C-alpha cells in the first residue's frame, strides 16, 4: 500500500522542527543556540530565501557567520553589505535592492546593553515587499531570544568569574595569614588541592638552574619521598625551560610540547593528569606549581586559568616570605652577590657611574689632607682690666658715665662730694695759722721748748692739709686710659654713700685684647702654645681675626655635662668694631690631617672608649 508523498513531507518537516526545538532548549553555546534559533525563526517568517547570523566580540568584532539557513554550505557574500551597514549604523535596515522584481534584504543588529554583539540578515522573496515592516517587527521580536541567551551566558560567565575570583582570594588569604614561609606555602598547596579536587599539589622555587620542590600538599615532611620530589622537580624544570604551561596528557588541539618528565612522573607514581604552571615575577621565573589529578578528571580551561592566576599572584608573595625567612648573613651575602653581578655585568650604567663617583670621593677623602682645626666657642676680653674704686668714705656727687660708654684718658667718670673735706681742710688751715702765730711769739720770747712743741704741731697741720688736698684731688675719678666701661652705673645712685675701697667701675683698654677659648676635653690634646688660629665674631661674621695661643690653663670648668679647658690667645688684629665681651667661634690650627680622619675621628674615639669600658 503506497503512502501519500505529502504525508511524508509533513512528517519529515515536523520531525526536523522538533529536532530544532530540542537543540534550541539544550543549547549551551551561542553558536549552537543560533544554529537552532535561525531555522525556527525562518520557518515562522514566510518567504525567507536565505538567512545568516553573525556574532563577534561586542562592539569590536570581527563578526563571523555562526549560523546559515537553509544550507550551511551556501555562500552568503551578497548579504555582507547590508550586514556591515547595519553594524555600522547600529540599527535595523531594509535594503530593497536594485530591481523591484528581485528579492530584498532585512538586517537587524543584536544589541545587548548598548553593545552590538552581532547581526541577523534575511533575504526575502520579492512578492512580500508590502509585508516588509511586519517581517522587520517579527524579526525584532525573534531577536529577543538571542538577547536573552547572550545575557544569560554573560551572567553565567560573570558568576563563574566571581567564583574563580573568590577561590583566588581564599588562596591569597590562606597565604597572607601566615608569617613564615613554610606554613604559608603548605596552606596554599593544601587549599589548592581541596578546592580543585587534586590528589597532590607541589610548589617549587628555582635554585640555580633547577627548580627544587619546597612543599607537597598534605605532607609536612617529604624526606622519605625524595624520589617523588625529584621527579616532580624534573617536571617543573621541563615547564620552566619551555616557558609554557604543560597540561599532560595533551589534547589534539594543544600546542605540542616536550613532556618526557611528565610522562615519567605519570609512569612511576600513577598521576593520571598533570598540570605544571611556571611562576614568574616580572620577567624572572621564580618557580613552578604542579597539580595532579586522576586520569578521569583532567584539567579543563577554567581550572587552568584560575591556577595560572593564583600562581602569578601568590607566587611572588611566597617568594618574598621565603626570602624573609633566610638568615641575615645569607641575605646580606646574596644581596652583595646580586649587586656585584649587576655592577660587573652588562647594563646598569647609572649605577656603575654612581659607584665610580663614590669610589672617587672615598679615595679623595681618604688621601686628601687639609688643616685639622679645633673649633670652640670663644670670647674676647681686655688685655688688662682696671678697677676704679672709692678712695675714701663719701657720697656720689655726679656720675656722667656708665657701663658700655667709651671714655678717653683723663675723662671724668665720677665725682664724689667734697664738702666735708673742704670744711676739714679749712679747719686745719685755721689751726695752722694759729700755731704759726704762737710759733712766732715763742721765737720772740726765746722759749725753746715751746718753739719745738709748736713746730711739731705746725708740721702736723701741714700733713693733714696735704692729706686733705690729696683726698680732694681724688674726688674726681678719671679714666686711666682710653677704655670701655665694662661695669658700673651710679647715675641712679646720686647722693648715695660709698665706702673706701668699694668698686665703682671696671674699665678695659680698646686696643689690647686677649681671646678666651673654651676647648672640649676631647680636643685639648692637640692644642699647644704658639699655634696660629682664627676667630669670627657673631657681630662681624664677614671678617676673620687671627690670634696666637699663649696659655693653656690646666683647670677645667663643667657645663652641660661636659668639661672645658680655658685657652688664652693674643689677638693680632684689632679694629674699632671690637668690644670686650664679644663672642664668636674660634678655630685653632693643629696640623695637617687626612680629611676622612677629621670627619670620623670623634666617632672612632667614642667607639674605642666604649669598647674599652665594656671589656672585662
CA 337 to CA 345: how far, in whole Å? 12
Same domain, 94 and 198: no
Q: Binning pLDDT at 50, 70 and 90, where does residue 6 land?
A: very low
* pLDDT above 90 for 70: no
* pLDDT above 70 for 419: yes
Helix (H, G, I), strand (E, B) or coil at 48: strand
Residue 25 covered by a domain? yes
50-66 pLDDT, tens digit per residue, is 888 888 888 887 888 88
Same domain, 498 and 607: no
91-102 pLDDT, tens digit per residue, is 888 877 766 677
State the pLDDT at residue 127: 76
Residue 351 covered by a domain? yes
Number of domains in the chain: 5
Residue 469 covered by a domain? no
Q: What percent of the chain has pLDDT over 90?
A: 5
State the pLDDT at residue 3: 41
Instruction: Kindly list the strands in the beta sheet with 386-389, ordered across the sheet, starting from the edge strand earlier in the chain.
Output: 386-389, 503-509, 483-487, 406-407
Domain with 351 in it: 330-364
H or E segment and range at residue 34: helix 30-44
| Crossing angle of helices 328-344 and 349-367, rounded to 10° | 100
Are the CB atoms for 201 and 219 separated by under 8 Å? no
Check which CATH number belongs to the domain holding 541 and give it.
Answer: 2.40.30.170
Residue 378 covered by a domain? no
Same domain, 124 and 199: no
- DSSP letters spanning 543-576: EEEEEEEEEEEEEEEEETTEEEEEEEEEE----T
- Looking at residues 179-185, what average pLDDT do you find? 86
275-284 pLDDT, tens digit per residue, is 999 998 877 8
CA angle 10/13/17 to nearest 5° reads 140
Same domain, 76 and 205: no
**327, 113, 66, 307: which is closest to 193 by C-alpha?**
307
Same domain, 266 and 321: yes
State the pLDDT at residue 223: 61
122-144 pLDDT, tens digit per residue, is 888 887 777 777 877 887 887 78
Same domain, 499 and 547: no
Same domain, 205 and 318: yes
- DSSP letters spanning 192-235: HHHHTT-SEEEEEEEETTEEEEEEETTBS--GGGHHHHHHHHHH
Q: What percent of the chain has pLDDT over 70?
A: 95
Q: Looking at per-residue confidence, does 244 or 616 come out higher? A: 244
Q: Which of 9-13, 380-384, 449-453 has the highest mean pLDDT?
A: 449-453
CA 443 to CA 60: how far, in whole Å? 153
Residue carrying C-alpha cell 599532560:
248
> What nine digits make up the cell of 491?
647715675
Dihedral sign, CA of 349, 350, 354, 360?
A: positive
State the pLDDT at residue 253: 64
State the pLDDT at residue 8: 39
> What nine digits make up the cell of 343?
655592577
CA 605 to CA 426: how far, in whole Å? 77
Q: Binning pLDDT at 50, 70 and 90, where does residue 149 land?
A: confident
Least confident residue range of 157-166, 332-341, 496-505, 582-591: 157-166
**470, 591, 429, 608: which is closest to 526 by C-alpha?**
591
State the pLDDT at residue 281: 85
Q: How many CA atoms lie within 13 A of 244 on its CB side?
A: 11
Rg (Cα) of the chain, in Å, rounded? 57
Same domain, 558 and 494: no
Same domain, 261 and 334: no
What single DSSP character describes residue 308?
H
| Crossing angle of helices 595-614 and 349-367, rounded to 10° | 80
Same domain, 286 and 202: yes
Same domain, 28 and 127: yes
Residue carrying C-alpha cell 678697677:
387
Residue 459 covered by a domain? no
Residue 446 covered by a domain? no
pTM of the model: 0.47
Q: Looking at per-residue confidence, does 244 or 504 come out higher? A: 244
> What nine digits make up the cell of 591?
696640623
The CB density around residue 51, as the number of other CB atoms within 10 Å, is 23
Residue carrying C-alpha cell 640555580:
208
- Looking at residues 485-504, what average pLDDT do you find? 78
Residue 22 covered by a domain? yes
- Looking at residues 17-29, what average pLDDT do you find? 72
Check which CATH number belongs to the domain holding 89 and give it.
Answer: 3.30.450.40
Residue 142 covered by a domain? yes
Same domain, 293 and 255: yes
Amino acid at each position: 500500500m503506497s503512502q501519500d508523498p505529502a504525508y511524508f513531507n509533513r512528517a519529515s518537516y515536523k520531525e526536523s522542527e522538533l529536532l530544532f526545538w530540542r537543540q534550541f532548549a539544550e543549547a549551551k553555546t551561542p553558536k549552537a543556540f543560533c544554529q537552532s534559533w535561525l531555522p525556527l525563526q525562518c520557518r515562522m517568517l514566510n518567504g525567507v530565501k536565505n538567512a545568516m547570523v553573525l556574532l563577534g566580540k561586542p562592539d569590536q568584532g570581527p563578526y563571523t557567520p555562526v549560523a546559515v539557513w537553509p544550507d550551511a554550505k551556501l555562500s552568503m557574500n551578497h548579504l555582507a553589505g547590508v550586514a556591515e551597514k547595519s553594524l555600522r549604523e547600529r540599527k535595523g535596515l531594509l535594503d530593497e535592492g536594485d530591481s523591484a522584481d528581485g528579492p530584498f534584504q532585512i538586517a537587524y543588529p543584536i544589541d545587548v546593553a548598548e553593545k552590538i554583539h552581532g547581526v541577523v540578515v534575511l533575504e526575502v522573496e520579492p512578492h512580500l515587499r508590502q509585508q516588509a515592516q511586519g517581517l522587520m517587527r517579527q524579526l525584532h521580536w525573534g531577536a529577543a531570544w538571542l538577547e536573552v541567551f547572550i545575557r544569560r551566558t554573560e551572567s553565567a560567565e560573570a558568576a563563574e568569574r566571581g567564583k574563580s575570583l573568590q577561590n583566588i582570594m581564599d588562596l591569597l588569604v590562606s597565604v597572607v595569614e601566615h608569617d613564615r614561609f613554610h606554613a604559608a606555602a603548605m596552606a596554599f598547596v593544601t587549599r589548592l588541592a581541596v578546592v580543585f579536587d587534586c590528589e597532590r599539589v607541589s610548589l617549587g622555587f628555582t635554585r640555580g638552574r633547577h627548580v627544587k620542590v619546597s612543599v607537597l600538599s598534605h605532607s609536612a615532611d617529604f624526606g622519605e619521598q625524595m624520589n617523588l620530589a625529584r621527579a616532580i622537580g624534573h617536571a617543573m624544570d621541563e615547564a620552566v625551560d619551555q616557558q609554557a604551561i604543560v597540561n599532560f596528557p595533551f589534547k589534539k588541539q594543544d600546542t605540542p610540547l616536550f613532556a618526557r618528565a611528565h610522562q615519567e612522573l605519570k609512569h612511576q607514581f600513577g598521576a593520571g593528569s598533570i598540570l605544571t604552571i611556571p611562576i614568574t615575577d616580572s620577567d624572572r621565573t621564580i618557580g613552578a606549581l604542579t597539580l595532579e589529578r586522576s586520569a578521569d578528571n583532567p584539567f579543563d580551561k577554567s581550572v587552568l586559568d584560575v591556577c595560572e592566576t593564583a600562581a602569578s599572584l601568590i607566587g611572588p608573595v611566597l617568594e618574598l616570605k621565603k626570602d624573609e625567612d633566610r638568615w641575615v648573613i645569607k641575605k646580606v651575602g646574596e644581596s652583595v652577590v646580586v649587586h656585584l653581578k649587576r655592577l660587573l655585568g652588562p647594563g646598569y650604567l647609572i649605577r656603575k657611574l654612581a659607584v665610580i663617583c663614590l669610589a672617587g670621593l672615598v679615595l679623595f677623602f681618604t688621601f686628601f689632607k687639609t688643616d685639622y682645626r679645633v673649633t670652640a666657642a670663644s670670647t674676647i676680653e681686655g688685655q688688662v682690666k682696671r678697677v676704679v674704686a672709692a678712695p675714701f668714705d663719701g657720697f656720689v656727687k655726679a656720675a656722667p658715665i656708665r657701663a658700655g660708654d667709651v671714655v678717653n684718658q683723663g675723662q671724668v667718670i665720677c665725682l664724689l662730694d667734697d664738702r666735708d673735706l673742704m670744711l676739714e681742710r679749712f679747719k686745719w688751715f685755721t689751726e695752722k695759722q694759729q700755731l704759726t702765730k704762737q710759733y712766732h711769739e715763742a721765737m720772740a720770747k726765746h722759749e725753746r721748748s715751746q718753739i719745738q712743741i709748736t713746730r711739731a704741731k705746725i708740721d702736723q697741720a701741714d700733713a693733714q692739709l696735704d692729706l686733705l688736698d690729696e683726698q680732694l684731688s681724688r674726688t674726681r675719678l678719671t679714666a686711666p686710659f682710653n677704655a670701655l666701661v665694662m661695669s658700673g652705673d651710679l647715675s641712679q645712685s646720686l647722693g648715695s654713700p660709698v665706702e673706701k675701697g668699694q668698686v665703682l667701675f671696671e674699665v678695659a683698654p680698646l686696643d689690647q685684647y686677649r681671646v678666651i677659648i673654651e676647648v672640649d676635653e676631647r680636643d685639648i690634646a692637640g692644642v699647644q702654645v704658639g699655634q696660629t688660629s682664627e676667630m669670627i665674631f657673631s657681630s662681624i661674621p664677614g671678617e676673620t681675626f687671627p690670634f696666637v695661643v699663649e696659655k693653656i690653663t690646666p683647670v677645667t670648668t663643667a657645663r652641660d655635662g661636659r668639661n672645658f679647658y680655658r685657652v688664652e690667645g693674643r689677638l693680632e688684629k684689632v679694629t674699632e668694631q671690637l668690644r670686650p665681651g664679644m663672642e664668636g667661634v674660634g678655630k685653632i690650627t693643629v696640623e695637617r690631617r687626612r680629611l676622612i680622619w677629621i670627619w670620623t675621628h670623634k666617632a672612632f674615639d667614642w667607639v674605642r672608649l666604649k669598647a674599652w669600658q665594656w671589656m672585662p
